[in-house]
């Protein structure tokens, strides 16, 4: 049976002419609609605009000139300063995010496939337990995670942080990917089974290629979450040289010596990977977001 | 039918050992549950960072917390989040989805990414961007207020009645009573697009479409349509959005930490921030566990029914 999720995803990309045509009778009211939309767009764009404009000003200009006006002369000093500070954390984050995302998606996709395909006694309860696990607030997990990593000798290392992320996000990867596996017809697997393929062969050679768009969505969502995660990143890494990007940006904000222009440039650098993903693979991101609403 | 049964039986035999598919994920999930139970257990001890071993201390940590004004302020702030973040974001998200639904189709490819983009950012970045806007000394908000809004004659009178003049601009993030609303606005900016996406998906449900079309043919106006067709049929989407936002606002940490660190004083501090401070700055680990347990219990009240409901519905189990 087709789930609500699958229907919703498909529907998001369908034309919606019916409602539109009929509603175009209300010509006068449409002006109000556009006005409201315009105002909201303005408020949503404002922070980005201000951030970009501020990052291109000198420290002096940020508070002597009109904050809304572009700089008289483009100044890239803030960007250089910001890059000096966030470049190492940026690459630390890239390393941590990629390794943990790959591990999470691999573990999660295997688990998610199992959840989506095999019906056994207690499947429902198991699904429930996994979903609850994905929702557990991080605050409850932080102290024991610290103790666990310390006892393994991994506290304060990238490997420790990666391990923490794998634990935190693999239930989630399982849930999201299982939503996508549910949408795939079973016929191919049955054919592979008749041909005598083993379950693992079937999974990697038959199911995975068909499920690739879903896996991509899962990967994007997990990557973004790992990249944007702050609570564990700030607690588990104490050495400044190993720090990841989010704690570094927060740290820049905390120090009074850093000017707003540098801070804005640093923040923009910190959003580059999610932005690139959004621009190139926005559709998969949206699908993953929808699938992830099972999780907060 | 018989053939189908044979196939099933064969398949089960063949896939008997495929439980290993789930094993790694299950292993981590068991650890997560173990950690949760461990935290709850440790909240009943006197464990601190310096102590060699923890002793059972009953409800001492909870009694300690309940006697603290700071703790109740945190709870109050979390409730403020629930009221002033969840409800406005949900309504605004719905409103946006509705506006987009009745505006020209050509606009949507531009508008949807614009409102959704903040969802892809981190709370740290959101916090930093909005800290600049709400900075009381030279921030954007006060600049616009002083240089544009207070120049408009009528608006100036109105603002003056509210106590805002060029010499007494609002304190924003430094104002103990209102700083929390600045943080809430930053979070709203980030999460409204997410709410909008869920409502847009709900608008595209084919059943709802048919109902809308039928009502339009009968000559219903936009408001009538909203009241009698759309709202009653979108209960599910409303439930999902409010639950997810409520869960978020009970465990909110990053954006508060980046914008104010819970300050001024502990005026904007929420439970999650206090938990972090207790465990990592004050080394009172058992107290941190107790606060974490409280956060867990509060979220569990929403999470358990939500997951039950969502799984039943989404996966048709």
Domain definitions of chain B by residue range? 44-125+180-315
Contact B103 A66 (CB under 8 A): no
Contact B100 A37 (CB under 8 A): yes
| Measured distance CA(A279)–CA(B99) in Å, rounded | 24
pLDDT at residue B315 in the model? 60
**Nearest-by-Cβ selection for B201 from A12, A127, A227:** A12
What mean pLDDT do residues B8-34 have? 75
pLDDT at residue B47 in the model? 85
Beta-carbon contacts of A277 under 8 Å, excluding residues fewer than 6 positions away, are: A220, A223, A224, A285, B120
Q: Which two tokens stand for residue B173?
A: 């993030």
Contact B143 A199 (CB under 8 A): no
The top-scoring range by mean pLDDT among A221-230, B42-51, B206-215 is A221-230
pLDDT at residue A207 in the model? 85
Local structure of A239: helix, strand or coil: coil
pLDDT at residue B2 in the model? 41
pLDDT at residue A64 in the model? 78
The interface residues of chain A toward chain B in range 200-239, judged by CB-CB distance below 8 A, are 203, 224, 227-231, 235
Report the CATH superfamily, name and number, of domain A80-294: MetI-like (1.10.3720.10)
pLDDT at residue A104 in the model? 95
Choose, out of A16, A137, A155, A233, the residue to mutate when testing the contact with B (most B CBs < 10 Å). A137
Number of residues in chain A: 296
pLDDT over 90 percentage in chain B? 39
Q: pLDDT-derived band of residue B3, with 50, 70 and 90 as boundaries? A: very low
> What distance in Å separates residue B63's CA from the closest CA in chain A?
19
DSSP H or E run through A156: none
Q: Return the biggest CA–CA distance within chain B.
A: 86
- From chain B, the residues in CB contact with A227 under 8 A are 122
- From chain A, the residues in CB contact with B307 under 8 A are 128, 131-132, 135, 294
The reply to whether A65 touches chain B by the CB within 8 Å rule is no
> What distance in Å separates residue A42's CA from the closest CA in chain B?
10
- From chain B, the residues in CB contact with A62 under 8 A are 138
pLDDT at residue B15 in the model? 56
Contact A199 B105 (CB under 8 A): no
Report CA Rg, chain A: 23
| Measured distance CA(B209)–CA(B225) in Å, rounded | 11
Task: Decide: B44 and B280 in contact? Cβ < 8 Å.
Answer: no
Answer with the residue of higher pLDDT: B33 or A199: B33
| Measured distance CA(A186)–CA(A184) in Å, rounded | 6
Of all residues in chain B, the one with the smallest CA distance to A276 is B120
The residue among B182, B234, B231, B196 whose CA lies nearest residue B89 is B196
Task: Decide: B195 and B89 in contact? Cβ < 8 Å.
Answer: yes
Could you identify the residue written with the tokens 């700071």?
A: B70
The residue among A25, A57, A82 whose CA lies nearest residue A263 is A82
- From chain B, the residues in CB contact with A289 under 8 A are 116, 119, 194, 197
ipTM above 0.85, yes or no: yes
Domain B44-125+180-315: CATH class, spelled out: mainly alpha
Q: Is the pLDDT of residue B218 over 80?
A: no
Contact A231 B276 (CB under 8 A): yes
The reply to whether A156 touches chain B by the CB within 8 Å rule is no
DSSP H or E run through A253: helix A245-254
Please report, for residues A121, A190, B4, B12, the alpha-carbon distance to residue A185 in angstroms, rounded to integers and kept in the order given.
22, 10, 16, 18
Q: Count other C-beta atoms under 10 Å from residue B165's C-beta.
A: 13
pLDDT at residue B118 in the model? 92
> What is the phi/psi pair of residue B168, to 5°?
-130, 75
| Measured distance CA(A35)–CA(A116) in Å, rounded | 45
**Sign of the dihedral through C-alpha B43, B46, B50, B53:** negative
- What are the b/e assignments for A208-234, b being 16+ CB within 10 Å? eebbeebbbbbbbbbbbbbbbbbbbbb
Instruction: Among A84-98, A234-248, B108-122, B217-231, name the one with the lowest average pLDDT.
Output: B217-231
Across-strand partners of B56? B45
pLDDT at residue A159 in the model? 95
Answer with the residue of higher pLDDT: B312 or B178: B178
Choose, out of A18, A39, A46, A47, the residue to mutate when testing the contact with B (most B CBs < 10 Å). A47
- From chain B, the residues in CB contact with A290 under 8 A are 197-198, 201
Contact A67 B313 (CB under 8 A): no
Task: Decide: A89 and A153 in contact? Cβ < 8 Å.
Answer: no
Angle between helices B87-102 and B179-203 (to 10 degrees): 40
Q: Is the pLDDT of residue B7 over 90?
A: no
The reply to whether A28 touches chain B by the CB within 8 Å rule is no
pTM confidence score = 0.89
Q: Count other C-beta atoms under 10 Å from residue B315's C-beta.
A: 21
| Average pLDDT value for chain B | 85
| Measured distance CA(A288)–CA(A84) in Å, rounded | 34
To the nearest 5 percent, what fractions of chain B are helix, strand and coil? 75, 0, 20
- From chain B, the residues in CB contact with A108 under 8 A are 25
The residue among A124, A40, A121, A96 whose CA lies nearest residue A237 is A96
Q: Is the pLDDT of residue B10 over 60?
A: no
Q: How far apart are the first and last CA of chain B?
A: 22
Task: Decide: B295 and B250 in contact? Cβ < 8 Å.
Answer: yes
| Measured distance CA(A137)–CA(A152) in Å, rounded | 23
> What distance in Å separates residue A206's CA from the closest CA in chain B?
16
**Nearest-by-Cβ selection for A110 from B21, B213, B261:** B21
Task: Decide: A124 and B280 in contact? Cβ < 8 Å.
Answer: no
Q: What angle (nearest 5°) sits at the alpha carbon of residue A184, between those of residues A102 and A132? A: 55
**Nearest-by-Cβ selection for A4 from B31, B253, B314:** B314
> What distance in Å separates residue A209's CA from the closest CA in chain B?
17
Q: Give every residue of chain A whose pLDDT is below 50, as ranges.
A: 1-2, 4, 18, 22, 295-296
The reply to whether A190 touches chain B by the CB within 8 Å rule is yes
Answer with the residue of higher pLDDT: B143 or A225: A225
Q: Which two tokens stand for residue B265?
A: 């004083």
Task: Decide: B100 and B108 in contact? Cβ < 8 Å.
Answer: yes
| Measured distance CA(B7)–CA(B14) in Å, rounded | 10
Beta-carbon contacts of B89 under 8 Å, excluding residues fewer than 6 positions away, are: B187, B188, B191, B192, B195, B241, B245
Q: Report how far Cα A4 is from the mean position of its chain's Cα atoms.
A: 22
Q: What angle (nearest 5°) sits at the alpha carbon of residue A171, between those of residues A182 and A248? A: 125
Q: Is the peptide bond before B264 cis (omega within 30 degrees of 0)?
A: yes
């Amino acid at each position: 049976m087709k789930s609500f999720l699958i229907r919703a995803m498909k529907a998001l990309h369908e034309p919606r002419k019916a409602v539109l045509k009929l509603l175009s009778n209300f010509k006068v009211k449409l002006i109000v609609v556009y006005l409201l939309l315009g105002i909201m767009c303005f408020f949503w764009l404002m922070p980005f605009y201000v951030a970009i404009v501020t990052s291109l000003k000198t420290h002096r200009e940020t508070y002597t000139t009109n904050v809304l006006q572009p700089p008289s002369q483009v100044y890239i000093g803030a960007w250089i300063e910001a890059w000096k500070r966030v470049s190492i954390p940026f690459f630390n984050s890239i390393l941590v995010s990629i390794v943990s995302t790959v591990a999470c998606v691999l573990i999660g996709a295997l688990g998610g496939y199992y959840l989506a395909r095999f019906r056994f006694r207690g499947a429902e309860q198991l699904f429930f337990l996994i979903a609850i696990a994905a929702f557990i607030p991080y605050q409850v997990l932080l102290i024991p995670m610290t103790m666990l990593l310390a006892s393994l000798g991994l506290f304060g290392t990238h490997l420790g942080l990666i391990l923490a992320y794998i634990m935190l996000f693999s239930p989630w990867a399982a849930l999201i990917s299982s939503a996508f596996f549910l949408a795939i017809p079973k016929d191919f697997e049955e054919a592979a089974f008749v041909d005598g393929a083993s379950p693992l062969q079937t999974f990697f050679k038959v199911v995975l290629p068909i499920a690739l768009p879903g896996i991509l969505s899962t990967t994007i969502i997990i990557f973004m979450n790992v990249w944007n995660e702050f609570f564990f990143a700030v607690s588990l890494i104490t050495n400044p040289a190993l720090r990841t990007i989010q704690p570094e940006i927060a740290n820049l904000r905390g120090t009074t010596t850093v000017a707003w222009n540098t801070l804005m440039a640093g923040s923009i650098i910190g959003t580059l990977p999610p932005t690139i993903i959004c621009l190139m693979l926005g559709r998969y991101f949206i699908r993953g977001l929808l699938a992830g609403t099972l999780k907060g | 039918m018989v053939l189908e049964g044979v196939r099933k039986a064969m398949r089960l035999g063949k896939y008997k050992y495929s439980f290993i598919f789930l094993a790694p994920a299950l292993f981590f999930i068991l650890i997560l549950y173990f950690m949760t139970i461990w935290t709850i257990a440790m909240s009943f001890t006197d464990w601190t960072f310096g102590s060699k071993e923890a002793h059972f201390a009953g409800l001492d940590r909870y009694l300690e917390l309940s006697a603290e004004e700071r703790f109740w302020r945190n709870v109050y702030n979390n409730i403020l989040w629930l009221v002033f973040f969840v409800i406005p974001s949900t309504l605004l998200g719905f409103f946006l989805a509705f506006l987009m639904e009745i505006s020209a189709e050509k606009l949507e490819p531009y508008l949807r990414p614009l409102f959704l983009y903040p969802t892809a950012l981190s709370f740290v970045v959101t916090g930093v961007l909005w800290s600049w806007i709400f900075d009381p000394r030279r921030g954007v908000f006060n600049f616009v207020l002083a240089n544009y809004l207070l120049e408009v004659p009528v608006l100036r009178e109105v603002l003056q009645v509210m106590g805002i003049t060029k010499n007494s601009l609002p304190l924003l993030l430094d104002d103990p009573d209102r700083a929390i609303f600045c943080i809430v606005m930053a979070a709203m900016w980030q999460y409204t697009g997410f709410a909008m996406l869920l409502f847009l998906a709900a608008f595209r449900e084919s059943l709802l479409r048919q109902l809308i079309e039928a009502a339009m043919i009968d000559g219903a106006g936009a408001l009538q349509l909203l009241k009698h067709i759309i709202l009653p049929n979108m209960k599910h989407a409303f439930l999902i959005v409010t639950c997810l936002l409520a869960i978020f606002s009970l465990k909110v940490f990053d954006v508060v930490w980046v914008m104010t660190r819970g300050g001024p004083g502990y005026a904007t501090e929420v439970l999650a921030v206090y938990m972090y401070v207790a465990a990592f700055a004050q080394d009172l680990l058992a107290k941190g566990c107790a606060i974490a347990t409280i956060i867990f219990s509060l979220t569990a009240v929403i999470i358990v029914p939500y997951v039950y409901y969502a799984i039943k519905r989404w996966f048709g189990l």
